[in-house]
Amino acid sequence: MKKKSLQGKKIGVIGLARSGAAAANLARRLGAEVLVSETRRRSEVNVNLKLLDKRIGLEFGGHSEKLLASDVIIKSPGVRGDIPVIIKAKTKNIPIIGEIEFALQFIDCGRLTAITGTNGKTTTTTLVGKIFKAAGRKTVVGGNIGNPPAAAVRHIDKTTELVLEVSSYQLEDSEKIKPRISAILNITPDHLEHHRTMKNYIRAKSLIFKNQGPGDVCVLNYDDPIVKGLAARCRAKTIFFSRKRKLRRGVYFSGGRIISSRGNERVCIDVCLKIPGPHNIENALAATAIALAAKVRPSVIENVLNAFRGVEHRIEYCGTKRGVKYFNDSKATNVDSTRVALESFSSGVWLILGGQDKGAPYAPLRGLIIKKVKGILLIGEASGKIKIELSGSAKFYDCKTLPAALKRAAGLARSGDTVLLSPACASFDQFKDYEDRGRRFKALVKKL
Choose among 384, 402, 398, 394: nearest CA to 447.
402
Exposed/middle/buried for 380, CB within 10 Å: 0-12, 13-18, 19+?
A: buried
* Cβ atoms of 279 and 343 closer than 8 Å: yes
The span from the CA of 89 to the CA of 350, in Å, is 49
The span from the CA of 39 to the CA of 53, in Å, is 20
Catalytic residue among 63, 75, 121, 358: 121
Task: For residue 121, indicate whether it is catalytic.
Answer: yes
Catalytic residue among 191, 194, 372, 442: 191
In this structure, what is the dihedral angle of CA atoms 171, 175, 177, 178, given to the nearest 10 degrees?
Answer: 120
Q: 3-state DSSP call for residue 38?
A: strand
Q: Which helix (H) or strand (E) holds 395?
A: strand 395-400
Catalytic residue among 119, 144, 186, 328: 144
The span from the CA of 89 to the CA of 96, in Å, is 8
Choose among 12, 17, 4, 216: nearest CA to 97.
12
- Write b or e for each residue in 205-224: b if 16 or more Cβ atoms lie within 10 A of its Cβ, otherwise e: bbbbbbbbeeebbbbbbbbb
* Cβ atoms of 292 and 284 closer than 8 Å: no
Residue 245: Cβ within 10 Å count: 12
Sheet with 96-98, side-by-side order of all strands: 57-60, 33-38, 10-14, 72-75, 96-98
Q: Write out the catalytic residue numbers.
A: 121, 144, 191
